[in-house]
């Protein structure tokens, strides 16, 4: 029997409220989600590697202003964009991550290159950019990443004197908007990638879970690949992505049970709002969320496409 393959992506937990979602925006978001999952799936269909598939899928969402990653990232307290990303390949459990980069068009590519072209796993800020420029990356001005929507969002947050940690008072309807992808390829490799601008009004070089292996991203062949989205301060402390993998590895839970146990369990009890996407070694996909929704799509082992926004869909 041929090795099954499948692909899943997310565009962040905590979606825009139904009543505030215009038809135009919804059409645009759905088109991006479809383009992303298809970009990844096309790599898999041509017998490509799961890591190339997740990077291809995440790049599509980084390039869209609709999501909080790459172009369209949220703004820091100093009105800058500072982005975090990570990737993991399940074969040798290789990983790469970057945090606090300001001038890299596709942070997910840089995370991959940290994994494949450096002896390190995690590079930050100016150092990560120095590494990037040494490896031929173009310097991208901050203007490229800016969108009016994120600027208004930051001003509203500042006027109210709120920090993004007051997640229950997010002016943007609790929309987190981080992006991520997980894939199983035809060689049985699992991979995961996550990319984000973090949270609005962040200060002091704050970094969330998205660039932390075991919190925001995890992949282990024969087991599972996971990418998360939500309030990073909780996801880091609960090592969410790694916990799903550990439950499957030690408790022999399936991907659905493990994902739900983590997202609806102690994480939720401690106030950790968000969700995750996971794909197991058979290509079985699970979307878990304790938020009002999560932008998400998958193409399953039968080649069936599914795209959803709200939790009750």
Residue numbers at the binding site for ligand ASP (CB under 6 A): 12, 68, 176-178, 196, 198-199, 208-210, 229-232
Token pair of 73 as six digits:
């990232």
Q: Which of 58, 5, 84, 25 is nearest to 309 (CA)?
A: 25
The Cα 74–Cα 269 span in angstroms is: 27
Helices 23-45, 50-62: axis angle to 10 degrees equals: 160
DSSP tag of 74: P
The owner of tokens 């100016």 is: 126
The Cα 130–Cα 78 span in angstroms is: 22
For the chain, what is the radius of gyration of the CA atoms?
17
Which one, 83 or 91, has the nearer CB to ligand ASP? 83
The Cα 183–Cα 260 span in angstroms is: 19
Q: Cβ 183 to ligand ASP, closest distance in Å?
A: 19
- The answer to whether the beta carbons of residues 301 and 4 sit under 8 Å apart is yes
Which one, 68 or 239, has the nearer CB to ligand ASP? 68
- The answer to whether the beta carbons of residues 182 and 191 sit under 8 Å apart is yes
- Where residue 106 falls (left for φ over 0; alpha for ψ -120 to 50; beta otherwise) is beta
Q: Cβ 195 to ligand ASP, closest distance in Å?
A: 10
Token pair of 88 as six digits:
């993991």
Which one, 5 or 235, has the nearer CB to ligand ASP? 235
Phi and psi (nearest 5°) for 6?
-160, 170
Q: Cβ 104 to ligand ASP, closest distance in Å?
A: 16
Which one, 221 or 239, has the nearer CB to ligand ASP? 239
- The answer to whether the beta carbons of residues 50 and 90 sit under 8 Å apart is yes
Burial of 260 from C-beta contacts in 10 A (0-12 / 13-18 / 19+): middle
Q: Which of 118, 66, 64, 63 is nearest to 87 (CA)?
A: 118
Q: Cβ 3 to ligand ASP, closest distance in Å?
A: 31
Which one, 48 or 96, has the nearer CB to ligand ASP? 96
Q: Which residues participate in catalysis according to the annotation?
A: 178
Which one, 15 or 196, has the nearer CB to ligand ASP? 196
Q: Which of 197, 172, 178 is nearest to 79 (CA)?
A: 197
Which one, 40 or 230, has the nearer CB to ligand ASP? 230
The Cα 155–Cα 146 span in angstroms is: 14
């Amino acid at each position: 029997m041929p090795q099954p393959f499948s692909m899943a992506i997310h565009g962040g937990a905590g979606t825009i409220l139904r009543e505030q979602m215009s038809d135009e925006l919804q059409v645009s978001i759905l088109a991006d989600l479809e383009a992303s999952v298809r970009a990844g799936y096309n790599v898999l269909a041509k017998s490509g590697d799961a890591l190339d598939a997740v990077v291809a899928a995440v790049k599509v969402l980084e390039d869209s202003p609709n999501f909080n990653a790459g172009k369209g990232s949220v703004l820091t307290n100093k009105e800058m964009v500072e982005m975090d990303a990570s990737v993991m390949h399940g074969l040798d459990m290789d990983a790469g991550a970057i945090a606090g980069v300001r001038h890299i068009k596709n942070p997910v590519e840089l995370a991959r290159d940290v994994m494949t072209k450096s002896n390190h796993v995690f590079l930050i800020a100016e150092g990560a950019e120095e590494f990037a420029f040494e490896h031929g990356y173009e310097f991208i001005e901050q203007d490229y990443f800016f969108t009016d929507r994120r600027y208004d969002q930051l001003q509203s947050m500042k006027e109210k004197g709120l920090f993004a940690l007051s997640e229950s008072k997010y002016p943007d309807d609790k929309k987190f908007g981080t992006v991520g992808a997980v894939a199983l390829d035809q060689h049985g490799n699992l991979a995961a990638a996550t990319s984000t601008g973090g949270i609005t009004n962040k200060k002091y070089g704050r970094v969330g879970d998205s660039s932390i292996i075991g919190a925001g991203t995890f992949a282990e062949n024969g087991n599972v690949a996971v990418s998360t989205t939500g309030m990073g301060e909780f996801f880091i402390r609960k090592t969410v992505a790694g916990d799903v993998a550990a439950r499957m590895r030690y408790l022999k839970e399936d991907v659905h049970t493990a994902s739900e146990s983590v997202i609806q369990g102690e994480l939720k009890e401690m106030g950790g709002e968000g969700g995750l996407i996971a794909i197991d070694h058979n290509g079985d996909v699970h979307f878990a969320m304790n938020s009002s929704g999560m932008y998400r799509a998958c193409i399953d082992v039968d080649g069936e496409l599914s795209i959803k926004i709200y939790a009750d869909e």
